[in-house]
């Protein structure tokens, strides 16, 4: 079965000059709003240095009958952060402490 998700993030996303428009609000607000708009769930784009509590996310999704379809790392690069550090194959686990270097 194909599920359709709405790209969502926390309110601080509005401060970024990002080309993609997303649903913003608290975890509870975005979960309920996505379902009200007839989406199956959300593709969540958290702030890389302020990842929400997983239990709070689970509860918000469960109460709204929504699904977390994906966690999107799209905020890392625009904020100058890397998923991988120093050319290694090991991911940099949040909190991210290393800034990306090099040409964009």
Residue 96 has pLDDT above 80, yes or no: no
Domain boundaries, the chain: 5-79
53 pLDDT band, cuts 50/70/90, is confident
pTM: 0.70
Could you tell me which residue, 42 or 16, shows the higher pLDDT?
Answer: 42
CB 44, CB 71: distance < 8 Å: yes
User: 9-13, 16-20, 55-59 — which is least confidently predicted?
Assistant: 16-20
* Average pLDDT of the residues in 83-99: 49
C-alpha span between 32 and 13 (Å, rounded): 19
Question: Cα separations (Å) of 43 from 2, 20, 98?
Answer: 14, 13, 25
């Amino acid at each position: 079965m194909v599920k359709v998700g709405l790209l969502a993030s926390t309110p601080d996303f509005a401060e970024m000059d990002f080309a993609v428009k997303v649903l913003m609000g608290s975890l509870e607000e975005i979960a309920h709003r996505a379902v009200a708009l007839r989406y199956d769930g959300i593709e969540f784009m958290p702030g890389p240095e302020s990842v929400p509590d997983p239990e709070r996310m689970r509860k918000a999704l469960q109460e709204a009958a929504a699904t977390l379809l994906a966690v999107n790392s799209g905020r890392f690069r625009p904020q100058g952060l890397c998923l991988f550090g120093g050319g290694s194959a090991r991911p940099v686990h949040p909190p991210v402490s290393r800034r990306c270097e090099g040409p964009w």
